[in-house]
Structure 1
Amino acid sequence: MERLIPLDPDFYTAVPILGATFGIWMILITFGGALLLVLAYSMYKGSLEARAAGMGVTGIGAVAGMTMFIPWMVLIVSDYSQGPVPGIEAPPADVSMTPPVLWIMVISLIGYFTFLLADKDNIKNKIYKTIIYTGIGVVAGMVFMNAQHGVRYFEFIPEYLNETENLERYDNPLGNAYTNLDYYDALGLTTISQAQMDNIKADEAIDIVHKDKTVESIVIKKSTPTYNPNTIALFLGGYGNYIASYMMMFMVPFIFLRKRWAYNTILTVTVLSMTASYWNAIVRGSFEWVIGGTMSLGLLVFLLIPVFKQFLVDPVDAKEVINE
């Protein structure tokens, strides 16, 4: 990461955020492994509840692997030496192309589908279950990665880099303790170099280089705050999507047991992630948010289709709710 941060401040928030979330995933995986050992005998005896718990644990491991796999490819392996920010070196030649977390993801996926399909159901139903439960995991992973981007840009406070040494959050001269996007061009911040950041003046136009290599002169830093729609959009797209992603995976054991409340919960967080992602796509004009929102929309549709819904909620329970 040392090759990125000194030259491109856009990366500096990614490191502590990834470090924190990776730590959370590793704790969940470790506790999950311990839970699998505790439930091993119950699984052997055919307990449906133990099998559901196993699905939840391995599902978390699979999503954790996915969300740690991609940052390795983007931040460690990818070559940014050709721009858009000048001066970044290519990754070292001895860096492994294979992320260390790959095997966590592979083993977890094997366990996930083993628990899911370890019954005597017919092939057609097993295919339906594979589709919907794969969709939940994939979307949860994508939503989590969108959340990483949201929090990363929401908490991007340049003053930590160039104005006050050892600046603490409560001393932030602009904005609040978590963000100060109202003082900046939020999209322009993602394109400037560290050299530009060190010399930036309020209300001064500077040249920025877009991803398509075109150059534009814009005011990055403002002397007075102006409402910035990125603030609330990134807050919901970041922290809101964190909640949505975790809740999707935490609900897996309960929808496997076809609990109505769990089904309603996963519908709710899917709508949340879809709304937050599309909102960021509009505000920030970024295609990655379009992908996240569309995947959440697709999952929502699949969750509502009866042929898949039957494996997520007990039809008898649903009828009782309607009759009440």
Structure 2
Amino acid sequence: MIVLASAPLAVAAVLLGAALGKIRDVRAFAATIGGYRVLPAPLALPAAVAVLVVEVAAAALLLAPVTRPWGAVAAALLFAVFLGAMGSVLRRGLSVGCGCFGGRDLVGPGTMARTGVLLVLALMAVAAGPAPFAPLQVPVAAALLGVAFVLPLLVPGRGRHGPGGGRASGVTATRSPVEHGPRPGTPFALEGAPERTADQVLYALVSPGCGLCTTMLPHFTAMAARMEVVLVSAAPKDGSFGSDGPPLVVDPDVYDRNDILWPPYAVVTDRRGTVLAAGGAADPAQLRTVIDGAASPSPS
């Protein structure tokens, strides 16, 4: 059947496109994987590399009839893992980028629908077996890709970053529908925090693999004119944020301990370390909202 025989071409095209979108910034893709919070932070980069290798290898296998069944099985397993990870994100109320093609899609019903359609195409490729190539498979494969990418656009609730939103870094520019993060009036739990010397301290949570964190770094630094500023990272120091700016504290458990989803994130405390305001800081407007909230903190 021509539709089944065309599925391997469609899946190979998707895998190659996805790999090309991610390989331009592997560290950013690793940050996306970290945002899912299903793997320990040190495994995010190896997992990102593994996904890219499997995507490229599966696409190559799909292009040759003799190896096509192996590539189809690998693709199906990959899409099944993606689908399970997205479902886990939605169940936990997280709001993160899907990292699917290096774009700005948030994990949501739309991305799950698209991944589900791609899983069906991969299973069709498995059923097709080592079918020989025929020119008619090209337009049919294009039509299958159209179905895979157009149908999810009709699914309600699909999320995207708005203008000026995040790069392909797994960092969202919107707040999760489920409230997370430290509450005003509670202590900010941070291991290795320097002694506070100002009435207000801004803790800017950043990550070396986060494109938005790099973009926001000058805005965090500029706040040093108003209050004490401390950068906080869960990853070991690697020079990503320089040595001539605010001090950097490394605390691998800071996100889990304070129920923070992913950077960039801002926490303002008083001299005693009590939270005055906290929230996502994916753009200057969000950072200003947190700073303004510290001026008139909500009751605990």
TM-score (normalizing by structure 2): 0.29
- Compare the two structures and name the one with the higher strand fraction: 2
Larger % of helix: which?
1
